[in-house]
Structure 1
Amino acid sequence: MPAGPERSALVGRVMGPEGPCVVTVRGGRLIDITARVATVRDLAEYDDPAGFVRDCDGPDLGSLADIAACTPVESRRPETPRLLSPIDLQPIKAAGVTFVVSLMERVIEERCRGDATLADRVREQIAGHIGTDLAALQPGSVETARLKELLVAEGWWSQYLEVGLGPDAEIFTKSAPLASVGTATDIGVHPRSTWNNPEPEVVLLISSAGRAVGACLGNDVNLRDFEGRSALLLTAAKDNNASAAVGPFVRLFDDTFDLDTVRKLTVTLQVRGTDGFTLRAESSMAEISRDPDDLIRQLMGRHHQYPDGVVLFLGTMFAPVQDRAEPGLGFTHHIDDLVTISAPALGGLTNRVRTSDNCEPWQFGTADLFRNLARRGLL
């Protein structure tokens, strides 16, 4: 659970016996507010979503602990609700290479052509040509333009340096509406991937007017071998069954938690494998190279509208360089890894790693949601 005042406005979703429900959390209990607001998309459009949620009441669905315990596939009971991703109709977008360390790793993937055995050698070459102190460079500035000219002349400019240091951010479609998974369930990596990693990130909930109204945690599961072979494989690397985890709840912005709070968050990643391997890393939002407001402006405006709002993964500074097996091969997932992404203000998002073909199929789409809500008299 997120740490903070008891009156923090949290919103999530569960699958109940009759269908999906929008819920809030009070005293460790999940309160069904679907009769007041049928979708999280609609909630995000209110002038004061946090105030609206605090004023909502509804049926008590049970304790969060009990419902979380019944969320994994093997633990479900038909009569007990289970946690879902806390977002619904919003397209899921993601910003890439917004931190210097992740920028360097993308360049390494490109130079390695997705071959993990070459990573250490290429890392040394890049340090010699580019250096490692890029944090002071402002994307789109005169200084970065001069650096680009130098690196182009030396044959070391990269498409990743372009989006990391140039004027235009990389913002791509991570997944479709209703395709993300929540906490306490499986996340998927493509069965043919042999070099992959989690990406711990902060995710913004944004209204159709371009206003950030809340935040949660996300895991932008990534296939380094696919994207490293070709940037045109970005969709194959990023968008697979259960490859976007979001949760555990969206914390709505109010006078105790806002975008300035997000700018100061530290996100912690922990991976625990059945082989005894453990990994712990941190990602500090204070080191992001592009401000969240800038990313929102580049994502949407007069040039691109999102009538159902949008959610945006803000990027990660996690660099998966810790060797797991042979020296120099860095990190890659093993089946049944337990991945926990946490921040005190946002709680913890925990998922188990499986191949995407062995994760629960995505079978409940937008048409299913609206048919269900109509049948329940909630539209």
Structure 2
Amino acid sequence: MTAPALISDLPRDWRSATLVGRLQLQDGPTPVVITGGRVRDVSRHAATVSELLSQWQGSPPAGEDLGPLEELSIDRAYERTPAVRLLAPFDLQCIKACGVTFAISAVERVIEERARGNADQAHSIRSALSQRVGADIRSVQPGTDAAARLKAALIADNLWSQYLEVAIGPDAEVFTKSPLLSSMGWGDWIGIRPDSHWNNPEPEIVLACDRRGRTLGVTLGNDVNLRDIEGRSALLLGKAKDNTGSCAIGPFIRMFDDTFSIDDARKAVVSLEVLGEDNFQLYGDSSMSLISRDPLELVRQTLSYHDYPDGFALFLGTMFAPTQDRDTVGRGFTHKVGDVVRVTSQKLGTLVNKVTTCDRVPPWTFGVTDLMRNLASRRLLS
């Protein structure tokens, strides 16, 4: 059996790339490195991806050759039970995320706030705010004197918001997105709360950072977002962002080497495609060149007053907040069960997932204790 679906979702130059990921093999979750199109089990060198990245010196360990990637029986878990499952490429790393890092996303968060999570009010508020606030915040660098003057002007006009504070103020929004080991991988289900009626995917670039804060590679993520819940109150961010199946990452981490660097991440265009069972289609692009803070500045802020001994993944935010009407004029977009979501970037491939409700996502039962027991049984812990 081959893996045509996965292969078609990899970057075109994947055979010359250095890719790191995790496979669910018969013995358990296994860190792998793919070079030259071949998969190598590196678990004897590093039992987890966290350990592998912390030991990374620019070239991967040899590992045990599992053969060409095309010959592994990897398939989409939402379609059938695969012989080999592709897991999210992070394990013990903390999953962090930055919000309101693009001007348009700042405007949309303000709209959510003013609409109190009511999608019916979003259209009229968007029309009133977008031209003034959107144009102004695109013109300033966060944390500068110009940004402070804009803040004062917006306060005077009664247009200020806590979301604009993190959009143009000195401090970026950085929050914890998801527990260790809970992220969904390529080809898996993603979940929305069944009581949410206004929600959307958030296609993002995700950085892979080790325990020392080194940024070593990049992958794709979907920061599934419940707009109605966060819109009621920013204090509900945890409930809007962190639910079973609400975080997807993959397919692999592309490591920095002669073919790929942080500058590729800075220039990346991230595309979104949603195909519904109702024949609804949604397309959009998010250009990293429009981000308000440099990716490494966001890493620095994440590290400012916190240690990460197992490293961390960092979502960089998105400029794409879909407003295309789906069913009702003026209500914009929201997910339906059965939506297939594809997040694509040329040098990273495609992360594909299918939407269901959180209570129908296959239960997450394999936690850190289970992983430690599994690794100990395989004699991978020293």
TM-score for the superposition, normalised by structure 1: 0.94
Report the CA distance shift for 1:64/1:159 in structure 2 as closer, same or farther (over 3 A): farther
Q: How far, CA to CA, are the matches of 2:297 and 2:92 in structure 1?
A: 23
Q: How far, CA to CA, are the matches of 1:64 and 1:97 in structure 2?
A: 39
Q: Deviations over 1:50-101 (max 9, x none)?
A: 40x2x413141674475332x4155215xx2211101100010000000011
8 Å CA contact retained: 1:216, 1:248: yes
Deviation at 1:124, TM superposition (A): 1.8
User: Which residue of the partner structure matches residue 116 of structure 2?
Assistant: 113
Answering whether residue 186 of structure 2 is matched by residue 183 of structure 1, we say: yes
Q: Deviations over 1:239-260 (max 9, x none)?
A: 0001100000001111221111
User: Which residue of the partner structure matches residue 75 of structure 1?
Assistant: 80
Deviation at 1:111, TM superposition (A): 0.5
How do 1:254-273 residues align onto structure 2 when only pairs under 5 Å count? Answer: 254-273=257-276
Answering whether residue 231 of structure 2 is matched by residue 228 of structure 1, we say: yes
8 Å CA contact retained: 1:219, 1:246: yes
Q: How far, CA to CA, are the matches of 1:290 and 1:164 in structure 2?
A: 9
What one-letter code is carried by the residue in structure 2 that aligns with 1:145?
Answer: A
Equivalent position SS for 2:92: coil
Answering whether residue 206 of structure 2 is matched by residue 203 of structure 1, we say: yes
Answering whether residue 197 of structure 2 is matched by residue 194 of structure 1, we say: yes
User: Which residue of the partner structure matches residue 128 of structure 2?
Assistant: 125
User: Which residue of the partner structure matches residue 327 of structure 1?
Assistant: 329
How do 1:271-286 residues align onto structure 2 when only pairs under 5 Å count? Answer: 271-286=274-289
Q: Aligned match of 1:19 in 25, 28, 47?
A: 28
Q: How far, CA to CA, are the matches of 2:367 and 2:68 in structure 1?
A: 26
Report the CA distance shift for 1:190/1:62 in structure 2 as closer, same or farther (over 3 A): farther
Q: Aligned match of 1:351 in 339, 349, 353?
A: 353
Equivalent position SS for 1:204: strand
Q: Deviations over 1:103-126 (max 9, x none)?
A: 110000000000000111101221
Equivalent position SS for 1:205: strand
What one-letter code is carried by the residue in structure 2 that aligns with 1:204?
Answer: L
User: What is the aligned-residue RMSD (CA, Å)?
Assistant: 1.6
Equivalent position SS for 1:182: coil
8 Å CA contact retained: 1:67, 1:83: no
Q: Deviations over 1:270-324 (max 9, x none)?
A: 00001111111111110000101110111004x2111111110000010211111
Q: How far, CA to CA, are the matches of 1:74 and 1:333 in structure 2?
A: 19
Unaligned runs of 5+ in 1: none
Pick which of 192-201 and 6-15 moved more: 6-15
Equivalent position SS for 1:354: strand
8 Å CA contact retained: 1:184, 1:349: yes
What one-letter code is carried by the residue in structure 2 that aligns with 1:198?
Answer: P
Deviation at 1:27, TM superposition (A): 5.4
User: Which residue of the partner structure matches residue 6 of structure 2?
Assistant: none
8 Å CA contact retained: 1:31, 1:57: yes
8 Å CA contact retained: 1:98, 1:314: yes
User: Which residue of the partner structure matches residue 171 of structure 1?
Assistant: 174
Give % identity: 50
What one-letter code is carried by the residue in structure 2 that aligns with 1:43?
Answer: L
Deviation at 1:29, TM superposition (A): 4.6
User: Which residue of the partner structure matches residue 56 of structure 1?
Assistant: 62
Deviation at 1:3, TM superposition (A): 2.8
Q: How far, CA to CA, are the matches of 1:6 and 1:280 in structure 2?
A: 28
Q: How far, CA to CA, are the matches of 2:378 and 2:193 in structure 1?
A: 37
Deviation at 1:25, TM superposition (A): 2.5
